[in-house]
Structure 1
C-alpha cells in the first residue's frame, strides 16, 4: 500500500519538531563535547582547532579553524535570529510596543543582569581580591547575564504549566536579555588579538544602508540582505576588532516585516491572542514577510548546527572545575533569582503590576529558570577569557552546569506550589511571537 507523500512525511516532521522543541542537538553537543574532552583532551583540541583549508589559512587575520568557522561565522545566524525576535517584539502589537506594557518584565530583565553581575564581582573580590588574578577573573562578569531562550521556555512550561502567565513573562525577559547580551558582547569584549579600529565600523553602517536600500526597493528575498548587508557588516566587525558573530544583528531589523514588503510594519501578524505561550521555534508558516521567511528557512539549520557549537565550546575537563566555575554557576542561579525578584517586585510597588496570576513566589522561580545560561554563556565565556587563560575552562564549566537550574526550578516550584493545571490566564502581555 502506498501512502501520500504528506502522510509519509508526518513522522519525520513530528520527530524533527520534537528534536527542535527539546533542544536535542544542543544538549547532545554538550554531552559529547564533555565526554571527548575528558577521554582525550588533546585529540579534542586538535579537532576543534583543525583548519580544513590547510596550514594557517585565514581571513582578515582570523585563522579559519573549525572553532572560528563555528563561533565567528555560523553563530552569525544564531544572533541574527535573536535579532529577529527582538525586532518583532518592538513592532505594533509586540511585547515592547507600547513599552509601558512590558515595564515590569523589563525591570526583571535589568535585575537579571545587575543581580548576577553584582554577585559575581562580590565573589571575585572574596576569592581573588588579594591576588594578582583578580582583574583577569573579573573579566568574566558578563557570563552569568545570559539566558538560553529555548531551554528556559521548555523548563518554564514544565514548572508552571503551559498556560501560566509566568511563561510569557519569562519569554519577554529572555528576549530583552538577549538584546542586552548583544550590546555587552559588542562593547565589552572586543577581539583581544585585533585592537578596535573604529574606521572599519563604517562598513557596518554601509551594510545597514544597503539593507535599507534593498527594503526601499521592495526586495523580498532574504539571502540578498545577508549577502550584501551582512557581508559588509561582517567585514567591518572583523577588521574593526569587534566580534564578527554579531554581523547580522544590525542588518536583520531592516528586513521587511510587514506582509506587503513595503517596509512599513503592520499589525496583522500580531493581532491574534493565544491562551498558551508559543514555542520559541514556532513560526507562522503562512506568513510571507521577509523577516519571518528568514527565521523559518534557517531555524532548522541553526537548531541542528548548535550541536557543533556546543561540541566546540563545551568540551571542558572536569578537572578544571574551580572557584570560577562556582562563581559563574551561583551568579546565574542565585544572582538571577534575586535580581529578577527584587527589580520586578519594586516595579510592581511603583505602579507597574505583574501579570494577573503572578506573585513573588512565581518571580523567584522565574529568576531561577532564567539562570539557564548555556548557549550565550558559553559564547561569552570564550570571549571573556582568552584561549590561554586558566579561567576559560572553569568559566565554561559553570555555563554548562547551569543546566542544573532546571532541577532547582522543578524542586522549588513543587515546594512553592507554582504550577496551576488548566489555568487559562487573562494575559496583560500580547502574544509573544518568537
Structure 2
C-alpha cells in the first residue's frame, strides 16, 4: 500500500489486488458445477471437511456427527458443534477472516486520525451521508422486492447483503472510469471506508450466530485492558497483541455468539500507531514501522491468500441456483446503490447546504454509485452470515453477490456514455510533460 515502493512483479501486483480471491471463486464455481453434474459431493465434502478427523479417525467422527445432528434437532448446541466442528469452512470464515476484518478495521481507525478522510466532519459530511444512502437504498430496494415477490419471510434476513461495497475492486474500477487524479476517487474511498465501518456494526448487531450471551463480552473488556497494558509497557511486536489480547477477544466474541470474524476489531485501535493518517493506499505507509503498520505489512499478503481460500470455500454455487434472492441482491446493488448515493448527495447539497468535492457533478456521483455496486467480498460474507443453512436460498443470494462484478462493465460503459474523461494525477502529468520535453 505505500511509499517509494520498489517495483513489483506482475504476479505480486495481481495478488495485492485480490486476484487470488477471483481465482478461488472461479475454482469454486467450476468445481461445484462439475460435481453437481456428476452427482458427486466432493465440493461439499471439501468445504465441510473436519480437520480433526485427520488424527481422530475420520469416518467414525462423521458418523457420530450425523447421529448427533439427527437426534438433537436443528436448534440445539450439539447441532452447532457438529455442524462445523473444526471444518475448513469454520477455519476460513471464522478464524482466518478475522485478520481480513482486522485490516479493514485498521483502515477505518486510521481514517479517523489527523489527515484521515473521516477526521474533519465538514470534509467528510457529504460522503458520509452518501454512505447512508448507499446502505438505505440497497436495503430498501431489496426489502421492497422481497415484499412484492412474497419472499419476505424466506429472504428478508438478507437485506444487508447488497449494502456492501468491495473497496479493492471498486477502487480499481474507479481508477479506470475516473482516472487516478479525479476527486471522485477520494470520495469513493471515503464512502467505502465508512461503508466498511457500517458493515462491521451490521454484522455484529444484526447477524449474531445465536442469541447473544452478553456476559462473555466482559472478557472482551479484559482483552482490551490487556492490550492497553502492553501498550503502556511499550511492547512493540504486534504478535504480543495478536496472540494475547487478540486471541482472548476472538474467544469472547465466539462465546458471546457475535461473529468471531470480528473478534480482533476491538483490539486494533489499541495497538501503538502513528498519530496521523497518510490515506488508504498511500504508498508512504510502507515506510512506517509503528506496531499497527507492521501488523498490516506482516499480514497483507497472507490475508490475500486467505481471501483466495474464502472464495474457494464460499463461492461454490451451481448455476441453477439463480433465483429470487439473486435478483433481489442485484436490484439492491445496481438500482439501490446509485439511487441511494445520488439521492443522499443531493439532499446533502440542496437540503443541508453542504458541498460536493470540487470537480464533481452528478454525472460523477451517479457513476460512482454504479462503481460502489461491486459488493463481492463482504456481500458474499454477509450472505453466509444471513443465511446460515446451506441450500437453495443461501445459494441464490450468494449468486447475487458473485454477479455484482457485472457492476464493473456497467460503470465503465456508463462513465463513457456520460462523457467522463479519466484524469491523471498532477505529478504524472508533469512527469509526462518533462519526458516529452526531454525527448
Report if aligned partners of 2:33, 2:317 keep a CA contact under 8 Å in 1. Answer: yes
Gap regions ≥5 residues in structure 1:
1-9, 259-265, 271-276, 426-434
Separation in 2, partners of 1:309, 1:419: 36
Q: How far apart are residue 22 of structure 1 and its match?
A: 3.4
Report if aligned partners of 2:130, 2:191 keep a CA contact under 8 Å in 1. Answer: yes
Q: How far apart are residue 23 of structure 1 and its match?
A: 1.8
Deviates more, 1:33-42 or 1:384-393: 384-393
User: Structure 1 length normalisation: TM-score?
Assistant: 0.87
Q: Could you say which residue in structure 1 is the equivalent of 2:85?
A: 63
Report if aligned partners of 2:107, 2:280 keep a CA contact under 8 Å in 1. Answer: no
Match of 2:271 among 245, 252, 255: 255
Report if aligned partners of 1:72, 1:244 keep a CA contact under 8 Å in 2. Answer: yes
Report if aligned partners of 1:143, 1:378 keep a CA contact under 8 Å in 2. Answer: yes
The CA deviation string for residues 339-393 of structure 1, in whole angstroms up to 9 with x for no partner, is: 0111012112222211111111101011111111000100000011122453100
What secondary structure sits across from 1:220 in the alignment? coil
Deviates more, 1:49-58 or 1:99-108: 49-58
Matched, 1:141 2:159: yes
Match of 1:158 among 173, 176, 185: 176
Q: Could you say which residue in structure 2 is the equivalent of 1:34?
A: 29
- Mapping of residues 290-369 of structure 1, within 5 Å: 290-349=291-350, 350-369=352-371
The CA deviation string for residues 61-119 of structure 1, in whole angstroms up to 9 with x for no partner, is: 45110000000000000000000000100011111112221001101100000000000
Report if aligned partners of 2:31, 2:43 keep a CA contact under 8 Å in 1. Answer: yes
Match of 1:122 among 140, 144, 166: 144
Match of 2:221 among 191, 205, 210: 205
What secondary structure sits across from 1:40 in the alignment? helix
Report if aligned partners of 1:164, 1:424 keep a CA contact under 8 Å in 2. Answer: no
Q: How far apart are residue 16 of structure 1 and its match?
A: 4.1
Report if aligned partners of 2:384, 2:394 keep a CA contact under 8 Å in 1. Answer: yes
What secondary structure sits across from 1:52 in the alignment? coil
Match of 2:240 among 224, 229, 233: 224
Q: Could you say which residue in structure 2 is the equivalent of 1:44?
A: 43
Greater fraction of residues in helix: 2
The CA deviation string for residues 249-277 of structure 1, in whole angstroms up to 9 with x for no partner, is: 1111111112xxxxxxx33x54xxxxxx8
Q: Could you say which residue in structure 1 is the equivalent of 2:104?
A: 82
Q: Could you say which residue in structure 1 is the equivalent of 2:436?
A: none
User: Structure 2 length normalisation: TM-score?
Assistant: 0.86
Q: Could you say which residue in structure 1 is the equivalent of 2:10?
A: 15
Q: How far apart are residue 283 of structure 1 and its match?
A: 6.2
RMSD of the TM alignment (CA)? 1.9
Question: Residues 421 and 89 (structure 1 numbering): CA distance in 2 closer, same or farther, change over 3 Å?
Answer: closer
Match of 1:100 among 96, 106, 122: 122
Report if aligned partners of 2:16, 2:304 keep a CA contact under 8 Å in 1. Answer: no
What secondary structure sits across from 1:32 in the alignment? helix
Q: How far apart are residue 293 of structure 1 and its match?
A: 0.6
Report if aligned partners of 1:21, 1:279 keep a CA contact under 8 Å in 2. Answer: no
The CA deviation string for residues 42-79 of structure 1, in whole angstroms up to 9 with x for no partner, is: 21101010011113699x94511000000000000000
Question: Residues 16 and 298 (structure 1 numbering): CA distance in 2 closer, same or farther, change over 3 Å?
Answer: farther
Report if aligned partners of 1:283, 1:296 keep a CA contact under 8 Å in 2. Answer: no
Q: Could you say which residue in structure 2 is the equivalent of 1:24?
A: 19
Separation in 1, partners of 2:177, 2:290: 34
What secondary structure sits across from 1:356 in the alignment? coil
What secondary structure sits across from 1:339 in the alignment? helix
Separation in 1, partners of 2:136, 2:280: 28
Question: Residues 43 and 389 (structure 1 numbering): CA distance in 2 closer, same or farther, change over 3 Å?
Answer: closer
What secondary structure sits across from 1:93 in the alignment? coil
Gap regions ≥5 residues in structure 2:
1-5, 54-60, 66-77, 428-439
Question: Residues 116 and 346 (structure 1 numbering): CA distance in 2 closer, same or farther, change over 3 Å?
Answer: same
Q: How far apart are residue 17 of structure 1 and its match?
A: 3.3
Matched, 1:380 2:382: yes
